[in-house]
Amino acid sequence: MAATITCVAPTRSQLGEGAVWDVVDQRLWWVDILGGLIHCYDPVTGSNDSYYFGEPVGCIARRDKGGLVVAAKSGFWFFDPATGARQPIADPESHLPESRFNDGGTDAQGRFWAGTMKDMGDAQPVGTFYRLDPDLSVTAWKGGIWTTNGLAFSPDGKRMYFSDSNPRVRTIWSCDYDTQTGTPGDPQLFFDTRAVPGRPDGGTVDAEGCYWQAGIEGWQLYRLSPKGEVIQTVDVPVEKPTKPMFGGKDLDILFFTSLSLGLTAPETQPEAGSLFAITGLGIKGVAQTRFAG
């Protein structure tokens, strides 16, 4: 069956990102970073509910104890969409007012990872990846990154992927991952996206261990083998896809978010910034773990 791409939530978000599928509530959660909005898409009803967080939101994860864990402009938070209640956890970059959190996600043990980036003024390599453990302690891992992105884990949880989207770098790395301690090993080059039109944005993995990259500015998604080889390219109807995530009852729908700002030809992509779904790929994803804290 040929793959079909459908716009399922025509929000025209400024910066759609952070897609994560929750296997418990069977919903696709995602964000509009600049709009400070958290969206929740139900593929059964087709509804897309929106919750205003009050500041830029980089990434989110569902929480075992209910609600969401959020990595936002002012650090880590708990958020209850039903009531709007916010509870601060930690702000590891309170000394960097021009920075905010960007991409992230959970490992198989329920730890929440998220990276930062400079969001105001001239870009600088001041981004850092942080690990939020279930006991709510925060550990900084790797700094010196322009635009933290692409965080994902292999199906067995023993390999971690991340990228730097900045045009100066546009590279994806992988590293061994100690599942007992949540400690990554030394990063190794996984894929240099100068080989394809799109720079690396958000990423996810499928059940076969392949890494999917949203090729921002390239009108494409890329499926990379565990060896870092492009084995499939999917053309999409928007210039700036931002984050792929498998979902649906059987984890066989590939959703992706997108961006509506700074387009080279906005008239040709009226649905840019919206949420899309790809069916008919014949590929399944990996269940995402809820934050254990």
97-118 residue pLDDT tens: 999 999 999 999 999 999 999 9
Closest residue by Cα to residue 203 from 228, 184, 181: 228
Rounded CA gap, 84 and 98, in Å? 26
State the pLDDT at residue 154. 98
- Residue 102, exposed/middle/buried by CB under 10 A (0-12, 13-18, 19+)? buried
Whether 113 and 106 have beta carbons less than 8 Å apart is answered as: yes
Q: What is the mean pLDDT of residues 2-11?
A: 96
Q: What is the mean pLDDT of residues 189-210?
A: 98
Confidence of residue 279 (pLDDT cuts 50, 70, 90): very high
Q: Which residues contact 137 (CB under 8 A, 6 or more apart)?
A: none
State the pLDDT at residue 12. 96
Number of other CB atoms surrounding residue 182 within 10 Å? 19
- The token duo for 257 is 């978010």
- Sign for the CA dihedral angle at 276, 280, 286, 287 comes to positive
State the pLDDT at residue 1. 61
Confidence of residue 81 (pLDDT cuts 50, 70, 90): very high
β-sheet with 220-224: strand ranges across:
199-205, 211-216, 220-224, 230-235
Whether 57 and 19 have beta carbons less than 8 Å apart is answered as: no
* Positions marked catalytic: 201
DSSP 87-110: EEEE-TTTT-TTEEEEEEEE-TTS
State the pLDDT at residue 108. 97
204-219 residue pLDDT tens: 999 999 999 999 999 9
Domain spans of the chain, in order of start: 4-279
pTM over 0.95: yes
CATH 2.120.10.30 corresponds to the domain 4-279: yes
Q: What is the mean pLDDT of residues 255-260?
A: 98
State the pLDDT at residue 52. 98
> Which residue is it, tokens 């709510």?
136
Whether 105 and 152 have beta carbons less than 8 Å apart is answered as: yes
**Residue 272 carries which side chain, given as an amino acid letter?**
A
State the pLDDT at residue 65. 96
Whether 233 and 212 have beta carbons less than 8 Å apart is answered as: no
- Given a cut of 90, whether residue 67 has pLDDT beyond it is yes
- Given a cut of 90, whether residue 235 has pLDDT beyond it is yes
Rounded CA gap, 172 and 57, in Å? 23
Rounded CA gap, 223 and 235, in Å? 12
Whether 18 and 257 have beta carbons less than 8 Å apart is answered as: yes
State the pLDDT at residue 2. 84
Q: What is the mean pLDDT of residues 161-183?
A: 98
Whether 103 and 152 have beta carbons less than 8 Å apart is answered as: no
Q: What is the mean pLDDT of residues 37-47?
A: 98
8-41 residue pLDDT tens: 999 999 999 999 999 999 999 999 999 999 999 9
